[in-house]
Amino acid sequence: MGLIRLLISDPAAFVMLAVLLLYSVIFHELAHGWVALRMGDETAKWLGRLTLNPLKHLDPIGSLMLLFVGFGWARPVPVNLENIPAPQRRKGLILVSAAGVTANLLIAFFALLAWRLFSPEPGGMIYSVLYTLAYINILLAAFNLIPIPPLDGSKILMGFTPESVNRVLYQIEPFGFFIVLGLLLLGALNPVIAALQYGIITLISMFLPG
């Protein structure tokens, strides 16, 4: 794995990247909570989750997976859509669900923007940190866009689909982790993730200078 090689070859770069990656998943969850608050749901605020304190967000297994496998997660920020006024509920579901992915896209964009503007020396610490930071955030965004519960993509989809479809998706959600894990092990999601990554890179490239 690239992160393990980085730990062995450049421990300082690994530590810098580790902090940035951990805050990448923290910002992902903060974005959910912040947008929910803006829509009228104060659940995350009441539970003290609208904070940069990593102890409030980090999941031990998800953090280790992120640092040593290159993919992980933080503790989900609780959201109660019932607190959002009924006329805005579907809009709230879409915006709150899309907020985490948007946070990862912005982190990837600014990492690539810095990479483009400062042209760090290939193979150097800053080069490795910025490139890996952008790559993993693009991967996180792509993965979360998969429309299988409980991933964000399924919630975005629910904002557009009729209640009959949403009921099916809610019924699947308790088993969603195992469904996603099984599909990953079978390699069935690889083409989907690759296509989403390509689309995200294309989108980000449109806004990069040069």
Q: Tens of pLDDT along 19-59?
A: 999 999 999 999 999 999 999 999 999 999 999 999 999 99
* Residue pLDDT, tens place only, 109-136: 999 999 999 888 887 889 889 999 999 9
Residues 111 and 120: their CA atoms lie apart, in Å, by 12
Average pLDDT over every residue of 153-182: 94
pLDDT value of position 97: 97
Asked if pLDDT for residue 1 goes beyond 70, the answer is no
Containing H/E element for 101?
Answer: helix 89-118
Domain ranges of the chain: 2-207
- Please state the pTM of the whole predicted model: 0.93
At residue 2, the pLDDT reads 61
List active site positions: 29
**What is the C-alpha to C-alpha distance for residues 78 and 72, in angstroms, rounded to an integer?**
18
| Distant-in-sequence, close-in-space partners of 17: CB < 8 Å, separation ≥ 6 | 3, 6, 128, 129, 132, 133
